[in-house]
Structure 1
Amino acid sequence: MGADRRAWLAIGAMATACAPGIALRFAGYHPPAVAGAAIFGLAILAAAFLLSWGAETAEMDISQGLALAIIAIIAVLPEYAVDFVLAWKAGADPAEAERGLAVANMTGGNRLLIGIGWPLVFFLFFYRTRIKELIVDRERSLELTFLAAATAYVIFIPLRSHVSVIDTIVLVSLFVMYMFFTSRVETEEVELVGPARAIGALQNAPRRAVVVVLLVYSAAAIFASAEPFAESLVHIGEQFGVSEFFLIQWLAPLASESPEVLVACLLAWRGRAAAGMGVLISSKVNQWTLLIGTLPVAFLVSAGDFGWTIGLPLDARQRDEIFLTAAQSAFAIAVFANLKMSRVEAAALFLLFATQLFITNEHARVLYGMAYAALCLVLLAWNWRDLPRTARDAFAIMRGRELPGAEHELPARDPDPVP
């Protein structure tokens, strides 16, 4: 009883911490930059806790893959909101379109997710378990397959001068197919701990109602707080003379990407690193399909000019940024082609991201993209024996069949951490 009481107190405390962010946003009040960063940042952090507890409990009723996909969609809402606003402004004002801030924010968010989020989950897993390889569930082969398809398409977008409605049709269709196949994965028995366990102990109807309320409330808190949090960080950066493009590409996404990274880290810290990595892989699929695919729509609606071959314009720098982001995505897919990530691979993802973060030279961006592409080919050649098995797993899930064997299966929770 004591444990349950503490669990419900924790849920109440996180819900209370979200309230100021929601209230201030809907009241239209913007606190000073430092205070705003603290208030809205705390609201996002608390919402991440609520989101992780609600989604873990939801696995009692839906598949883990679908639960993780729902987490990813909710957590990525801030990135959608910021990029939609930037794309809308670009459509309404040609001068805004020339600044390329929508593409800057989108590419920055995607690279942050892989360059910081994926290694962070791995190193939390390694710190807790001292295991040198993080193995994800075989069901993740579905996300990786769709991520590979989207990456193979996006990497050719820089050959054109626009992101058009044709790209919208292709990428949004990939997202719809991904969600459809994810929803067909069978529900597995889950072991809940902490607040999720307290919620899971409720009867079916109350439990499902609490889960829905938690997901909706956390989504509202994240959506309400992310943009003012990003704006507060940008204002703080401006006080130190940092360029607007840099702030939009890196500092704003650091705020908008924080919910899914926090959720993934919380899962990893509680012994569910494979599920945490699943959240980030699913988030990457969402951003690489739905986010990119819907930017031309926001641009064209704002501009009031529709056509199949026109859309969000791309200058040379933006095309380089998309190429570099797609090349990083290809390397990340190659890392998990065997459904494993090693210490060396996690370190490579982080170091390649960190060393190119502050480089603005256009030739350097192309060289980094080529380095990612070369490493991708090396890893695929090294793990070539695992590629057919991963592909077979993905297609078995699409056909609604059970996965043969259990070579890559993990228990419901990662091995107990070392003391």
Structure 2
Amino acid sequence: MPEQSISRGTLATRVAVTLALALPAVVLRLTGTHPAPVAGMIIFGAGVLAAAVLLMWAAETARRDISGALALALLALIAVLPEYAVDLYYAYRAGSKPEYTAYAAANMTGANRLLVGVGWALVVLAFTLGVRQRARRGEPVPDRRDVHLSVHHRIELGFLALAAVVAFIPALVGEIGWYMSIVLIAIYIAYIVRIARIGGDDVEQLVGVPAVLAELPTVPRRVATWGGFALGAVIVFVSAEPFAESLVEAGSSLGIDEFLLVQWLAPLASEAPELIVAVVFAWRLRDNDAIGALLSSKVNQWTLLVGTLPLAYKAGGGGWSLPLDSRQAEEVLLTAAQTVLGLAFLIDLYFRRWEAALLFCLFAVQFVLPDETARLWLSGVYLAIGFSVLIARYRDLGRAMAMVVIPRPHRG
């Protein structure tokens, strides 16, 4: 049995545990029961987590039948649908309840900063530990010590650079306007079109549950894949709304800032499975798959997710532009600044240990100094370092932008 595989019995156990996590949420919704806020936050949060796990398993299994960079981009989008569901719900509710505008901004900025500040750093840590473990056992290890991206990922980096520039506009004008929807969704569509023209890297091996499902005969495998997508979508539909509402109510009952609870707990639940899979890939020394998947998720969240928020706000009864108060504008500014630094660190296709450590440390600083002045100063630090690195690596930035215009089918 391959190292990455598991037994059929373990597969059944993991599926059963995941469904058991979702069952209370489904039962409560079907019976119309409304639990206490904290209990609802836990129960429906478990439902969101279970949905994210099912969608991740289905997306990974689908890579057995669909290969290439386009498939990876689309599957990365599917894997973060729970995050979209929660955030778009907040934006939709903000159309009739203006106070929910803050929660839409909180969830979006928290998800993006968690992905870069924690997710990317965890990949480097897992890769480093994986290399050391194999070296101690006398097994072959890469002749490098840094996480490496394939050349075709310059397409993601180029489009992330475009989105990073555009994303400063909401912080400056105090709204995510309808024009932002047009531009950001157009960037995402252009990204999909561009990346469809290259083959990308085929995934050599899957891990865990998808590794077992991928070995099934074609028909059962595809039934399991699409069944996972369907079941995950249903659980997301059942859990997202009450989870979002429970977070707000739990914050009030516990005396915790609802903004912070929505900003960090909801993204942690919805994105945990993706982060875990990326860490496992890195531990297996598949660093390109690990950081590449998280980079693709960053692109779709910083373009499509942000771009659809005004549309959800309008559908909920609001105007065409999602307004931002001063705190929300600062959070968007801080997230955009972090994006610049993350882009700068990846632009040469290598992600070094000191770069990952710096991203994580700057992410952690915001919890020690959470006031307005600290957010502005931290944004300045991100931008100062980010632009300095980009200037030093301007040739790499040029290569990434060239791939946006004329993608080349290189393999790294």
Q: Same fold (TM over 0.5)?
A: yes
Q: Is 1:148 aligned to 2:161, yes or no?
A: yes
**2-structure distance, mates of 1:44, 1:303:** 26
Trace 1:18-417 onto structure 2 (pairs within 5 A).
18-20=21-23, 21-32=25-36, 36=40, 39-93=43-97, 95-96=98-99, 100-130=102-132, 132-186=145-199, 188=202, 190-229=204-243, 237-303=251-317, 305=319, 311-396=321-406, 398=407, 401-403=408-410, 409=412
Q: Secondary structure at the match of 1:147?
A: helix
More displaced stretch, 333-342 vs 10-19: 10-19
Is the CA contact (8 Å cut-off) linking 1:230 and 1:255 kept in structure 2? no
Is the CA contact (8 Å cut-off) linking 1:114 and 1:332 kept in structure 2? yes
**2-structure distance, mates of 1:209, 1:254:** 29
**1-structure distance, mates of 2:92, 2:283:** 38
Shift of 1:323: 1.3
Q: Secondary structure at the match of 1:100?
A: helix
Q: Secondary structure at the match of 1:191?
A: coil
**1-structure distance, mates of 2:153, 2:34:** 41
Letter in 1 for 2:386: C
Shift of 1:231: 5.1
Letter in 2 for 1:353: F
Is the CA contact (8 Å cut-off) linking 2:168 and 2:336 kept in structure 1? yes
Distance 1:48 1:124, change over 3 A: farther
**1-structure distance, mates of 2:74, 2:282:** 18
Gaps of 5+ in 2: 133-143
Shift of 1:177: 1.7
What is aligned with 1:16?
19
TM-score, normalised on structure 2?
0.84
Letter in 2 for 1:159: L
Gaps of 5+ in 1: 410-419
Shift of 1:58: 1.9
Shift of 1:313: 1.6
**2-structure distance, mates of 1:282, 1:192:** 18
Shift of 1:364: 1.9
Is the CA contact (8 Å cut-off) linking 1:18 and 1:221 kept in structure 2? no
Shift of 1:73: 2.0
How many equivalent residue pairs?
Answer: 396
Identity %: 43
What is aligned with 1:416?
none
TM-score, normalised on structure 1?
0.82
Shift of 1:314: 2.2
RMSD (Å), alpha carbons:
3.0
More displaced stretch, 278-287 vs 383-392: 383-392
